[in-house]
């Protein structure tokens, strides 16, 4: 009987405590339960803000899927509460609940901490620096930290740090400078958020300029230039008379043709642009490097000539296209309308008659029948080749239309491409065109130079330019010139 009475009293006491004002259970509207609850997550912490009807010192219990529950106890008695959960992990989901006096709990809530994720990372290396650009998912100030990787006989380099300019942002650009060409670098990105929280990226890598040049040469050698020429020739058209280019029907046909050209060559343009982004910053070093064989330089030059052909073909069709390679440094293989040699040694190339050229058979017309030629072979002696520091071929041409090019082949090893400006029109336009080449292509004794007229792939042109004169121009070493 006494045991039954004690149990009844205990049950009544629990009922009274449960129904007491301010502790009416976990349903919304209780005086101890949080109202207007907000969560502001950071990288490693989160701010929990809420209000209660009556003042008390709350506690928060929180946990993640991989951690044991932890409890944050506040010592401040108030109706407006702000509690920081510290020591959280980046990009991690947590669950939490607010504890009221007497063990009454709120509904379970969740939060996800923020994480600095690096996106669209681009590292463009040149000889002594690297341009680094990227985006982050969280606005932050960014810092570059890099150090040379250890090499045989050399320890790792001294770490260097560079702060990227500007305040907290999601788009970042910076430069890692004072780099050695033959050395790769370990790169770490550091971040400071608007809430003064820090984060770091995983280890990244800045490859050496030498390695990138080797990779570029391999990529260019694998690039199928012949396939691009085949696709351009599949778009072959005869050049129309300019009087025909005013009709409405012609305009309609031209729009259709432009669409077809863009569809056919779009993938090639994208591939060339992708190579250009890595190639252009290192182009001058590639052509100047003694570690790169002349045969590799010739292959790169011919690849650049193909890109020029594609850009010019599109320009002549009224399609503005840039592969990003037209402005790339070509070292000794540069072409222009003015010579940079101060006191060259000039060897005239005897161009036989006739000097009017035609680009192959057009409409079953044989060039020789009309006293025109397709090509000419010229021999010229060169002595003391080892003393030649720079070499170039000069062509004096008249009436070279933009659709045509003269090609000069040096000892059968390289085709030097001579072009007129895209806006050059008219047979009366005379030009002196200079094209340099690597002196290593010269032979001691007799050298053969073959000159031929070629159309740009994809275009037929019946114009017959005149080759007035040609020269082989050499610049000797200073020591050799003094000895003569």
Residue 21 DSSP code: T
Q: Which CATH class is domain 334-483?
A: mainly beta
Rounded mean pLDDT of 129-157?
89
Residue 115: CA atoms inside 13 Å, Cβ hemisphere, count?
A: 13
| Phi-psi category of residue 153: left, alpha or beta, with phi > 0 → left and psi -120 to 50 → alpha | left
Is the Cβ–Cβ distance between 281 and 425 less than 8 Å? no
In Å, what is the CA distance from 22 to each residue of 26, 83, 135, 293, 301?
A: 11, 21, 50, 87, 84
- Please determine, for residue 295, whether its predicted confidence score (pLDDT) is greater than 80: yes
Return the axis-axis angle of helices 294-316 and 225-233, rounded to nearest 10°: 20
Residue 448: pLDDT band (50, 70, 90) is very high
Mode of pairing for the β-strands spanning 459-460 and 237-238: parallel
Chain centroid offset of residue 265 CA: 20
**Over the chain, what is the mean pLDDT?**
85
- Residue 398 has which token pair? 């008249």
Mode of pairing for the β-strands spanning 445-455 and 375-382: antiparallel
Greater confidence, 481 or 47? 47
Q: Say how far apart CA 101 and CA 56 lie, in whole Å.
A: 8
Rg from Cα positions in the chain: 38
Is the Cβ–Cβ distance between 109 and 37 less than 8 Å? yes
Q: Could you tell me the maximum CA-CA distance found in the chain, to the nearest angstrom?
A: 137
pTM of the model: 0.76
Residue 9 confidence (pLDDT): 37
In Å, what is the CA distance from 43 to each residue of 81, 93, 435?
A: 21, 12, 59
Rounded-to-5 percentages of helix, strand, coil across the chain:
25, 35, 35
Q: Say how far apart CA 222 and CA 193 lie, in whole Å.
A: 44
Q: Say how far apart CA 206 and CA 152 lie, in whole Å.
A: 18
Residue 107 confidence (pLDDT): 76
Residue 26: pLDDT band (50, 70, 90) is very low
Which pLDDT tens digit goes with each residue over 205-245? 999 999 999 999 999 999 999 999 999 998 886 544 445 55
Residue 378 confidence (pLDDT): 93
Chain centroid offset of residue 19 CA: 69
Which pLDDT tens digit goes with each residue over 47-85? 999 988 888 888 899 999 998 999 999 889 999 999 999
Rounded mean pLDDT of 304-314?
94
Contacts of residue 406, Cβ cutoff 8 Å, sequence gap at least 6 = 357, 395, 397, 400, 417, 418, 433, 451, 452, 453, 454, 465, 467
Rounded mean pLDDT of 13-34?
45
Q: Say how far apart CA 446 and CA 427 lie, in whole Å.
A: 34
Which residues are bridge partners to 375 per DSSP? 452
- Residue of 378, 371, 337 whose CA lies nearest to 472: 378
Q: What is the per-residue burial (b if ≥16 Cβ within 10 Å, else e) of 144-153?
A: bbbebbeeee
Q: How far apart are the first and last CA of the chain?
A: 134
Q: Say how far apart CA 326 and CA 307 lie, in whole Å.
A: 7
In Å, what is the CA distance from 83 to each residue of 37, 71, 181?
A: 11, 11, 52
Q: Say how far apart CA 75 and CA 281 lie, in whole Å.
A: 61
Which pLDDT tens digit goes with each residue over 232-241? 998 886 544 4
Residue 360: pLDDT band (50, 70, 90) is low
- Residue 193 has which token pair? 């958020």
Question: Which of 1.25.40.10, 3.40.50.720, 2.60.40.10, 3.40.710.10 is the CATH number of 118-207?
Answer: 2.60.40.10
Q: What percent of the chain has pLDDT over 90?
A: 59
- Please determine, for residue 435, whether its predicted confidence score (pLDDT) is greater than 60: yes
Q: What are the E-state strand segments in 315-354?
A: 335-336, 345-349
Give the CATH fold of the 2-112 domain: Immunoglobulin-like (2.60.40)
- 3-state secondary structure (DSSP) of residue 366: coil
In Å, what is the CA distance from 28 to each residue of 77, 79, 101, 256?
A: 21, 16, 16, 68
In Å, what is the CA distance from 213 to each residue of 224, 291, 300, 439?
A: 19, 10, 11, 22
Q: Say how far apart CA 463 and CA 249 lie, in whole Å.
A: 25
Q: Say how far apart CA 385 and CA 367 lie, in whole Å.
A: 36
């Amino acid at each position: 009987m006494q045991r039954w009475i004690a149990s009844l009293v205990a049950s009544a006491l629990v009922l009274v405590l449960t129904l007491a004002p301010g502790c009416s259970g976990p349903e919304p509207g209780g005086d101890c339960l949080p109202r207007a609850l907000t969560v502001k997550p950071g990288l490693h912490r989160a701010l929990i803000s809420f209000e209660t009807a009556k003042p008390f010192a709350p506690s928060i219990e929180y946990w993640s899927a991989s951690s044991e529950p932890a409890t944050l106890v506040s010592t401040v008695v108030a109706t407006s509460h702000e509690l920081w959960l510290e020591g959280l992990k980046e990009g991690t989901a947590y669950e939490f609940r607010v504890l009221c006096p007497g063990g009454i709990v709120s509904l379970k809530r969740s939060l996800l901490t923020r994480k600095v994720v690096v996106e669209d990372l681009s590292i463009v290396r040149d000889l002594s620096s690297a341009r680094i650009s990227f985006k982050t998912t969280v606005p932050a100030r960014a810092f570059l930290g890099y150090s040379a990787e250890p090499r045989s006989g050399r320890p790792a380099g001294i770490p260097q740090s560079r702060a990227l300019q500007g305040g907290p942002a999601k788009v970042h650009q910076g430069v890692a400078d004072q780099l050695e060409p033959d050395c790769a670098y370990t790169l770490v990105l550091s971040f400071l958020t608007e809430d003064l929280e820090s984060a770091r990226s995983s280890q990244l890598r800045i490859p050496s300029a030498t390695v990138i040049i080797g990779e570029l040469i391999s990529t260019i050698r694998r690039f199928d230039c012949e396939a691009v020429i085949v696709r351009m020739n599949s778009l072959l058209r005869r050049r129309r008379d300019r009087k025909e280019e005013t009709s409405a029907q012609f305009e309609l046909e031209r729009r259709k043709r432009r669409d077809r050209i863009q569809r056919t060559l779009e993938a090639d343009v994208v591939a060339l642009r992708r190579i250009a982004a890595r190639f252009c910053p290192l182009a001058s070093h590639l052509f100047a490097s003694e570690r790169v064989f002349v045969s590799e330089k010739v292959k790169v030059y011919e690849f650049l000539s193909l890109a020029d052909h594609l850009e010019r073909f599109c320009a002549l069709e009224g399609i503005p296209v840039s592969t990003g390679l037209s402005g790339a440094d070509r070292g000794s293989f540069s072409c222009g309308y003015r010579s940079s040699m101060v006191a060259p040694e000039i060897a005239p190339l005897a161009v036989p008659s006739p000097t009017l050229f035609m680009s192959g058979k057009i409409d079953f017309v044989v060039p020789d029948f009309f006293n025109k030629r397709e090509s000419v072979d010229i021999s010229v002696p060169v002595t003391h080749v080892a003393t030649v520091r720079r070499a170039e071929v000069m062509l004096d041409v008249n009436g070279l239309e933009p659709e045509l090019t003269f090609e000069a082949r040096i000892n059968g090893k390289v085709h030097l491409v001579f072009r007129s400006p895209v806006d050059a029109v008219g047979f009366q336009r005379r030009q002196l065109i200079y094209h340099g080449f690597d002196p290593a292509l010269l032979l001691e004794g007799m050298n053969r130079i073959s000159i031929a007229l070629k159309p740009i792939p994809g275009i037929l042109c019946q114009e017959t330019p005149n080759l007035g004169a040609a020269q082989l121009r050499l610049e000797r070493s200073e020591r050799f010139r003094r000895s003569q």
